[in-house]
Amino acid sequence: MMQPGFMGGMPHHGGMMNHPFKGDGQQQDLKLDVSKVKTLMDAFLIRHGQSDLQVGEITSGDNNTFNVNILGADNTVVKTLKISGATAAL
């Protein structure tokens, strides 16, 4: 069962996790690929108690982004998220 508010709006932290910073205070590029995005999104769903959801197809988008389909229990797309390949920001 989905927790209240999950599909109404994903939690926004500026990114999915705390990111390492370069010595000059800038975030380093995480250089994510499809496999790493899947791992991060699987962990994100587990962390937020969304055991009834799963990660579906992940495609490359514009400007170093990925489009991630989130599937419901019946394997239909319930939401498509865009994630940055550089920062993991949603």
For position 28, what pLDDT does the model report?
85
Cα(33)–Cα(25) distance, rounded to whole angstroms?
24
For position 1, what pLDDT does the model report?
46
Q: In the chain, where do the E strands start and end?
A: 54-60, 65-71, 77-84
Question: Is residue 61 exposed (0-12), middle (13-18) or buried (19+ Cβ within 10 Å)?
Answer: middle
For position 56, what pLDDT does the model report?
98
Query: In degrees, to the nearest 5, what angle opens at C-alpha 46 toward C-alphas 43 and 47?
Result: 85
- List average pLDDT for each run of 10 residues in the chain, which is 90 residues long: 50 50 68 96 95 97 96 97 95
